[in-house]
Amino acid sequence: MRKTWTAKQRKTWVKKYRQLLLKGQAKQVVAAVQAICKGRNGKAITTERNYFIRNLCRMAYPILKALKLPLGSGAIESAIRRVVNLRLKGPCIFWHRENAAKILMLRSFYKAGRWNILKQMASFFLKGTY
């Protein structure tokens, strides 16, 4: 590959491989990233290459799109802020870490519509039949 790219060449490359990712061709993208990184040992480029290799199985963008799931982390980060921070960190609100984790688990089951499953699990363990 090229040793130095112009800004336009970089932008074109990123656009091309972003489209391939969105079309479900993540293996080709990872191969291209590895080809660019070949012979380069810089920490930044190694970190980026390893990210693509490590997360290849998570790059199923056509499936996520078909399921109408968000592709980026923004929705999750927003949910964390809204649910966790605003519910557990407010004026006159104090939670011990252990109790906060428990209440978040309970709320997660409830909001996911799995409250009955949680009740069954609790009943199972309270009976001591495990």
Q: What is the pLDDT along the chain (130 residues), one digit of tens a residue?
A: 446 889 999 999 999 999 999 999 999 999 999 888 888 777 888 898 899 899 998 898 999 889 888 887 788 788 777 777 777 777 777 788 888 888 888 888 888 888 998 888 888 888 765 5
Cα dihedral value 16, 18, 22, 28, nearest 10: 70
Q: 105-120, pLDDT tens digit by residue?
A: 888 888 888 899 888 8
Rounded to a whole number, what is the largest CA-CA distance in the chain?
Answer: 68
H or E stretch covering 54: helix 43-54
* pTM, full prediction: 0.56
